[in-house]
């Protein structure tokens, strides 16, 4: 303890809550409320879209309501997934560097997959010309 010139107040300051928890909680719950309605539709959608091969899947996503609901589901789901995985990484990965790396990877995976899947749905919908 010979060279520690920090005052007790300086050592404790800044180590508390980041005050971001309420915002995280509300986002998690609001996306969950959206998913309560979207997930049952999504299960029906996957079954209906996959029953008749490539043409069936394309026809399904060519319908405007199906395309819109699919993009809404993807948005709510990837947003909810990102928040949930963020908490898991923060809880279990204590090592600095690894934690930040996984948090960034989580964001990249969720945003990247949302862009790729939403644009895939848009492409199918728009090319159908319905």
Partner 1 sequence: MAGSQWTDPRPMSPHLQIWKWHWTMAASIFHRVTGVGNYLGALLISIWIISIAAGPETYGFVEGIMLSPVGQILLFFWLTSLLFHFVNGIRHMIWDGPKAGFQPKVASAWSVFNFAFAIIAAATIWSLATNLF
Q: Does residue 117 touch partner 1 according to CB under 8 A? A: yes
Rule CB under 8 A: say whether 120 interacts with partner 1.
yes
**Closest separation between CB of residue 14 and partner 1, Å?**
20
- Residue 102 CB, shortest distance to partner 1, in Å, is 13
Residue 75 binds to partner 1 (criterion: CB under 8 A) = no
Q: Are 73 and 38 in contact (CB under 8 A)?
A: yes
Check binding of 84 to partner 1 (CB under 8 A): yes
Owner of token pair 């079954």: 47
Assign 3-state DSSP to the chain and report helix, strand, coil percentages, each to 5: 80, 0, 20
- The H or E element that residue 71 is part of is helix 64-92
In angstroms and rounded to an integer, the radius of gyration of the C-alpha atoms of the chain is 21
Interaction of residue 102 with partner 1, rule CB under 8 A? no
User: Do 49 and 56 touch, CB atoms closer than 8 A?
Assistant: yes
For binding to partner 1 (CB under 8 A), which residues are involved? Answer: 29, 32-33, 35-36, 39, 43, 46-51, 53-54, 57-58, 61, 70, 74, 77-78, 81, 84-85, 88, 109, 113, 116-117, 119-121, 123-124
């Amino acid at each position: 303890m010979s060279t520690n010139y920090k005052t007790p107040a300086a050592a404790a300051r800044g180590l508390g809550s980041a005050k971001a928890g309420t915002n995280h909680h509300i986002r998690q719950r609001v996306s969950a409320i959206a998913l309560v309605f979207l997930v049952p539709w999504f299960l029906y959608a996957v079954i209906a879209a996959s029953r008749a091969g490539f043409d069936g899947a394309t026809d399904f996503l060519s319908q405007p309501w199906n395309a819109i609901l699919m993009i809404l589901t993807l948005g709510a789901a990837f947003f909810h997934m990102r928040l949930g995985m963020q908490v898991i990484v923060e809880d279990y990965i204590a090592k600095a560097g690894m934690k930040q790396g996984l948090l960034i990877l989580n964001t990249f995976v969720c945003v990247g997959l949302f862009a790729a899947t939403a644009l895939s749905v848009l492409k199918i919908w728009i090319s159908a010309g319905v």
